Amino acid sequence: MSIKFVARTVLPTEWGKFDIFGFEDDETGKEHLALALGDLKSSNDPLICRVHSECLTGDALGSLRCDCGSQLQYAMQSIGEAGSGLILYLRQEGRGIGLLNKLRAYALQDEGADTVEANVALGFSADERDYQVCQPILKFLEVAQVRLLTNNPKKVEALEALGVEVTEVLPVHTGENPHNEKYLSIKAEKMGHWR
């Protein structure tokens, strides 16, 4: 898989001044981001890193149906407090099924399906995401070791399969509320996510 570096600029946030890198996937045309805080090469210690899949409803609209927006904010805050770190923001809406299919899945959940059953009913697997794009982005940024902010063991497996050393898993306990209680339980029971 190959990517094209497109641009780098500064993104000031309440958690610090991040450098934001834009990449384009040569194969799919999808655009991905890397948000880096601090000098990624200044320490021999593995970087705090979050691999975050786009969630318009959670990240931008504040949806309580998931914990995505809270996890993204938690990652930015954790990196800000540490003084350095990295977020890979991947354009894989709805665990890879796209925004409109995610809304269709939500409608099925409104009728009683859980998050996995809804994806399967629409003809998808429980999780359609692909993390291969992480490898060329991390290579471009010269990052080989990470302390991964995640509750998803499949992200750890995917990065390690790509040759990225995950030295530590940092659980993300945030964003639980009455609206996403069933969703989080199903992710743990059916998809093996840690809680």
Residue 42 pLDDT greater than 90, yes or no = no
Task: Name the β-bridge partners of 3.
Answer: 25
Q: Both tokens of residue 78?
A: 């954790």
Q: Pick the catalytic residue from 127, 130, 147, 195.
A: 127
Specify the pTM: 0.93
| pLDDT above 90 as % of the chain | 77
Q: Where residue 183 falls among pLDDT bands split at 50, 70, 90?
A: confident
Residue 30 pLDDT greater than 90, yes or no = yes
Q: Report the candidate in 16, 24, 18 with the shortest Cα–Cα distance to residue 137.
A: 24
- Output the pLDDT for position 182: 77
Q: How far apart are CA 131 and CA 44, in angstroms?
A: 25
Q: Both tokens of residue 58?
A: 């959670």
- In the annotation, is 91 catalytic? no
- Segment 76-104, tens digit of pLDDT: 999 999 999 999 999 999 999 999 999 99
Residue 192 pLDDT greater than 70, yes or no = no
Name residue 173's amino acid: H
- Segment 102-139, tens digit of pLDDT: 999 999 999 999 999 999 999 999 999 999 999 999 99
- Compute, in degrees rounded to 10, the torsion defined by CA atoms 96, 97, 102, 104: -170
Q: Pick the catalytic residue from 45, 129, 130, 195.
A: 129
- Segment 154-181, tens digit of pLDDT: 999 999 999 999 999 999 988 788 887 8
Q: How far apart are CA 105 and CA 20, in angstroms?
A: 31
- Report the residue count for the chain: 195
- Output the pLDDT for position 43: 66
- In the annotation, is 45 catalytic? no
Q: Both tokens of residue 27?
A: 């194969």
